[in-house]
Structure 1
């Protein structure tokens, strides 16, 4: 009995598609997924750090930054799985790898946080 027969849901559908890819590519895809999850955790931790900054940052600015970091981290975590799934499907089908949707999220999210922080620092000084 194949392993896919015992599985249900999205995993069974994924494993039933195409050919089994070289394990090195699947493992590399998993390592990339875990790297994105670590990035998401770091961004969320940054939001927690900002939230706990106390009097170093104005309360409204602190709240905006903390929510922005936490939201960006949540989006990164969700897109990490989406990217892993799309890449795994492409590997199984022998297709070109899809472009990563995470780079703009991180770039624009952190740029927005930096602008909010810069404006907040300039206003309060």
Structure 2
């Protein structure tokens, strides 16, 4: 830990994660708080995908059990990737703000849209097939 001239521990050394807070200077708190809200929204999305996976696995749907299990696994994987990327994107954005650099993009949106699209498509086809028979 680094000591300042007045003998106190430097504030940046006490903050975690260091790969974020040991760089640049503190941005306007409004921007940091907005970044945190975005992180929390992505974390909630990851939890919702995991809840959807649990529901899909628990329900008795007119699908072959292997297809239903694969869809549940796809949603669970998408939920875990979304939650993990929420942290990664928060850290990248916070560090960019601290270094007064351009803000990074967020590729996690593709994961959420792709997983929801595949699951929706398969469930839609199953519903149509069931209605026609």
Give the TM-score, by structure 1 length. 0.87
Equivalent residue pairs, number: 123
Q: Deviations over 1:12-44 (max 9, x none)?
A: 232120111111111111111010000000011
The residue number in structure 2 matching 1:31 is: 37
Structure that is richer in helix per residue: 1
The residue number in structure 2 matching 1:78 is: 84
1:97 aligns with 2:103: yes
Would you say the 8 A contact 1:83–1:101 is kept in 2?
Answer: no
Distance in 2 of aligned mates of 1:55 and 1:118 = 12
**Structure 1 unaligned regions, length at least 5:** none
For the aligned residue pairs, the C-alpha RMSD in angstroms reads: 1.9
**Structure 2 unaligned regions, length at least 5:** 1-8
Query: Quick one: which of 34, 40, 47 aligns to 1:41?
Result: 47
Would you say the 8 A contact 1:53–1:62 is kept in 2?
Answer: no
1:11 aligns with 2:2: no
CA shift, 1:61, in A, is 2.1
Give the TM-score, by structure 2 length. 0.82
Would you say the 8 A contact 1:65–1:113 is kept in 2?
Answer: yes
Computing the radius of gyration from Cα coordinates, the structure with the larger value is 2
Q: 1:79 to 1:24 in 2, by over 3 A?
A: same
Distance in 2 of aligned mates of 1:118 and 1:88 = 40
Distance in 2 of aligned mates of 1:115 and 1:13 = 41
Q: 1:59 to 1:114 in 2, by over 3 A?
A: same
